Structure 1
């Protein structure tokens, strides 16, 4: 295995390999702060942080996903009627697929620049800007009358949303350790998956008011935008920035509590005291094999899943299990399976210290290949629907370990913001082409579509092995530290420095 110095990661004392050394004064101050709080105190403060931070992050992610999913769901609203979006805009299904492409282009271009200013702007104002712009563009989509207008709206939506998801990832690393982040990230993402359930019920109900002033799909975009604007008000007044921010921005923590939450973080975590921008950190990360390994993973993962996700309502509708607006309700079990599996697997990730994280990812990828092969050869509509549900389980197993694994090697505010945005931008590249994988000429079997997805899953597995090669020691010792920290914390009550990440 390669050494940490080859990764340009400075080795730290035993059991903390991969993190930059703190000077003696800083170490003494950190030790003093830690000594004032017990293991139970840390759990209590984390619960306080959870209740203040996670609801707002979940609500933002939920709104973002509502529109992301909505573009797929509105296509199946009032199918064959004049109020259907394809007939309203006078476009074909294959032309409609370019909606995802236009969104992805601007999202990719502005993802890194948007997220690099998060430290300078402050997380609160960063998310507020994104939420307001996104909501306005979403509501304005209801006014589109042709293909050009709809694609333009999608392009502006990508510009507005850029920086949201990597900003959320970055914000979590400012509050939580790598061994605490999986379940919180899962809570965020899986509760965000409720957007699929909401959109199903949403479009199901609006199908019955089609033509009452506006077509149903226009009502959907208008209402979704208004929800985002209301959320932006909540966020502006109550969102906390950093644990050790000034009192007006940490709100629910005392100064000592805020300092303790920062002191318990690994030395490489982003902090409010970091520089707003560090060009040298970006140049350093561009030379890291881990950056390219994780970015290629994101590219392959979304190449294998995005096309299916974009066309999922259409694919389920083609099974013929039910007809009319009720077909929207068949999308709900898929979202429920994703929620349950992601929460369960993430709980295991945050509590298990024996199984290497890449094993989770490789197991999920293997299962997903099996599902895609089954979908190529299965001829039963019920069987195909069951495989669709099973795909959600394996996708969760493949993705839940990603952020906990990546957060182990982040270094500082600028580095973390750049890495999260860069990788997520690579993950959006599949949006340029994956919607084309499931063109109508491949229906109803989609054998070509699923075969292409299998190729990307195999490439994904190669990227996981590449990442594991360069992060083997760091990943192993992170699990060791988590195990010792919990054992010593419960035994000694005080959270000791020598067993901290």
Structure 2
């Protein structure tokens, strides 16, 4: 009867704390109180009322947001701008000046994703070992240098080499920052913050079109074409931001200099109360790597992310080209990319807020994917320029919110400092590897309708994003029912408290976010 009531509460009240099933408490002698979860960690607010504690926690959360989120958004804006500005450069004569074919252009795009995806699974381990304040500024300066050099290339081989090294240098930012945020916030708090962070990608697309249209007018300055100045100036800006990041990117909670001693304890205690140990030191062991590899959730989330990331790069790399084929000039096509991206940024933040509030991340993915599917169906089936342009809006609404929501969903359901880092690396790396496919499906011979490209993106969204989200949602619901029924309690028989904590999300009291 007790279990049935708890299960009903989990369905009707997503914020209800079901972190410890009743039989689990009895079998291992644990209580569900936050004080027991935080045993051994001093409480700086001992003796304060619940109202006083809540006020302190709210103030702390606002302080963290101001310290962490704005600068991270700027970093990702620079990152996405630098990887996708080649689409704007193409409209300004890149292929003609470098004597490249459309096939060589697609190959250059593909090389970025090969190195980007290949290095991502390793980056979170480096982030943990080198510290965020060193690792993130370091890779930013490196890719800024590569971006600047891209503006000086004179042939396909030079552009291809630059794209390879750009992917290698950028590989650590998105999985690193996603993992980093999961080490600061509770599971029900991270969605909107990751959405705000990722909305910088949509803003980069919007801002990038305006910026490219303005910079391209520098054609002839210093003997360089306009597209070269797009790369040079944006690369130099990235270097400056990277150098400043040493002072604005903070380390993990146990090392962050801006935290007072009491606030450091508060951050660690609030994460422990959420069944997270990510704020604390943990030595790397290969067991964490293999735990991620053997976990079905790693590959389920990789499939889902494949569905939204394959669509994301097709959309962001070729949107200027798609719009230009509707009959607009290069400059106007760049400018017309702004509204879909701006609208997508707003929807991304809204979905992040909604997923946090409902804790129904799977259904949020399903809803957004259906909108995106409708958008690409319009692009595929219509010949009316106005309908196609409207389809780009719906396509953006279906892609951008799902990217952020899927990564948060994976982070919510993976516990352990290094296991979460490895899992996010695998998920994001596999998703980005599909950028190789995205780079080759919008072929010159298919214009102006690009049926192959739109069809492939549509298939990605139906099979992987929609289908994967439904499968994962129902699998997690089924597993939660087993845990609440006590069917997983045997995993902890004879184990000490510390050994139980090392089980991470395999603990019987760890309830998945569905």
2:153 aligned with 1:144: yes
Using CA pairs below 8 Å that are at least 6 residues apart, which structure has the higher relative contact order? 1
Q: How far apart are residue 13 of structure 1 and its match?
A: 2.1
CA shift in 2, pair 1:188/1:12, >3 Å: closer
Which residue number in structure 1 is paired with residue 77 of structure 2? 62
The counterpart of 2:279, out of the listed 262, 271, 275, is 271
2:42 aligned with 1:42: no
Which residue number in structure 2 is paired with residue 417 of structure 1? 421
Q: Find the aligned partners of 1:118 and 1:87 in 2 and give their Cα distance.
A: 40
Which residue number in structure 1 is paired with residue 293 of structure 2? 286
Which residue number in structure 2 is paired with residue 215 of structure 1? 225
The counterpart of 1:374, out of the listed 358, 373, 378, is 378
Q: Find the aligned partners of 2:110 and 2:211 in 1 and give their Cα distance.
A: 25
Which residue number in structure 2 is paired with residue 438 of structure 1? 442
Which residue number in structure 2 is paired with residue 80 of structure 1? none
2:342 aligned with 1:336: yes
Q: Find the aligned partners of 2:121 and 2:281 in 1 and give their Cα distance.
A: 21
Q: How far apart are residue 400 of structure 1 and its match?
A: 4.3
Q: How far apart are residue 228 of structure 1 and its match?
A: 1.3
Which residue number in structure 2 is paired with residue 318 of structure 1? 325
Which residue number in structure 2 is paired with residue 384 of structure 1? 388
CA shift in 2, pair 1:228/1:159, >3 Å: same
2:95 aligned with 1:86: yes
Whether contact under 8 Å (1:179, 1:404) holds in the other structure is no
- In structure 1, list runs of 5 or more residues that go unmatched: 1-10, 78-83, 479-498
Residue range with higher mean Cα deviation, 122-131 or 344-353? 344-353
Whether contact under 8 Å (1:363, 1:397) holds in the other structure is no
Whether contact under 8 Å (2:151, 2:229) holds in the other structure is yes
Equivalent residue runs for 1:125-274 within 5 Å: 125-213=134-222, 214-245=224-255, 249-251=256-258, 253-265=259-271, 266-274=274-282
Q: How far apart are residue 298 of structure 1 and its match?
A: 1.4
Q: How far apart are residue 390 of structure 1 and its match?
A: 1.6
Q: Secondary structure at the match of 2:440?
A: helix
Q: Find the aligned partners of 1:135 and 1:400 in 2 and give their Cα distance.
A: 24
Quote the RMSD (CA, aligned, Å). Answer: 2.7
Whether contact under 8 Å (1:408, 1:474) holds in the other structure is no
Q: Find the aligned partners of 1:463 and 1:302 in 2 and give their Cα distance.
A: 13
CA shift in 2, pair 1:343/1:16, >3 Å: farther
CA shift in 2, pair 1:74/1:393, >3 Å: same
Q: Structure 1, residues 164-213: CA drift from partner, whole Å, max 9, x if none?
A: 11000011011101111111111111134221222112111122220121
Which residue number in structure 1 is paired with residue 354 of structure 2? 348
Which residue number in structure 2 is paired with residue 73 of structure 1? 88
CA shift in 2, pair 1:25/1:369, >3 Å: closer
Q: Find the aligned partners of 1:146 and 1:152 in 2 and give their Cα distance.
A: 10
Q: Find the aligned partners of 2:245 and 2:115 in 1 and give their Cα distance.
A: 25
- In structure 2, list runs of 5 or more residues that go unmatched: 1-17, 484-510
Whether contact under 8 Å (1:300, 1:459) holds in the other structure is yes
Q: Secondary structure at the match of 2:185?
A: coil
CA shift in 2, pair 1:22/1:67, >3 Å: farther
Residue range with higher mean Cα deviation, 203-212 or 379-388? 203-212
Q: Find the aligned partners of 1:117 and 1:172 in 2 and give their Cα distance.
A: 16
Q: How far apart are residue 470 of structure 1 and its match?
A: 3.0
Q: Find the aligned partners of 1:475 and 1:445 in 2 and give their Cα distance.
A: 46
